[in-house]
Structure 1
Amino acid sequence: MDIVIIDGQGGGFGRALIEALRAGGVTQEIVAVGTNALATSAMLRAGASAGATGENAVIVNAARARILAGPIGLVMANSMLGECSPAMARAVAESPAHKVLIPVAKCGAHIAGLPEKPLAQYIADAAELIRGLL
């Protein structure tokens, strides 16, 4: 599969990224993986090709992805208010996929040297990077 987008909580980040990719002409398969059903549903409504929910879905789809995108918290166990389990973080970190991770303050991490931008700009940057990788 080409692109896997993982998100949690309300799925707003993943929804916005999928919308930006589709608006930018990306026609490849986008699999939405939510840490919960609400996040998966939001990403499916945004135009994902397929969706799955839960820890096992993250583990399986991270291993199959060519490009994996989501918030930086995906590689930090117990981040995203506890929605990212240690098994999920390990699966994302060990995935052979090219990872496009977006700094999100809610994940409790800041990346030194990155300029502070609105989330919408980080999403636009991520969408452009993913289009370039395709």
Structure 2
Amino acid sequence: MNSKRIVLVLDGQGGGMGTQLIKMLAPVLPADCDLLAVGTNVLATNAMLKAGARRGATGENAVVYNASRADLILGPIGMILANGIMGEVSPRMASAVSGSEAEKILVPSSHCGVQIAGTQDCRLEEYLQSAVTLALRALES
């Protein structure tokens, strides 16, 4: 039985956002955390594995299964939207991620067609740094 906390990074398309999150998180995660990458497609998963995730999986079932096991989930906001990320996120995936008991840290993206009131218009790097800061804060508690 794995006693480590699971930090799940999700992404689709080429995995660019997930890759950057993993590069930023991997060196600073507490030792009791296992960094897991799950992509909606193999390109995203492979990119996140190359960035430093210890383990990876791909596809709808991988998202559904791992979202239910995760302690913390990070990724683009499109991961909680049915048909998000240009249709790569199935309704089943979106439901699993949004319904997971894990704390979720979602990065806004203008590409998903959703505007979030109260957020500043920042560069992606600023959003990602904020996500990492929030993740580390969540893992401290």
- TM-score by structure 2 length? 0.91
Aligned-residue CA RMSD (Å): 0.9
Q: Does structure 1 residue 81 correspond to structure 2 residue 69?
A: no
- Share of identical aligned residues, percent? 49
1:14 maps to what in 2?
A: 18
Give the 4+ runs in structure 1 shifted more than 3 A.
Answer: none
**Structure 2: where are the runs of 5+ without partners?**
none
C-alpha separation between the residues in 1 aligned to 2:51 and 2:106? Answer: 19
Between Structure 1 and Structure 2, how many residues are aligned? 133
C-alpha separation between the residues in 1 aligned to 2:23 and 2:133? Answer: 12
2:52 maps to what in 1?
A: 47
Q: Does structure 1 residue 115 correspond to structure 2 residue 81?
A: no
* CA apart distance, 1:132: 1.0
From 96, 99, 102, give the equivalent of 2:104: 99
**Structure 1: where are the runs of 5+ without partners?**
none
- TM-score by structure 1 length? 0.96
* CA apart distance, 1:73: 0.9
C-alpha separation between the residues in 2 aligned to 1:2 and 1:75? Answer: 19
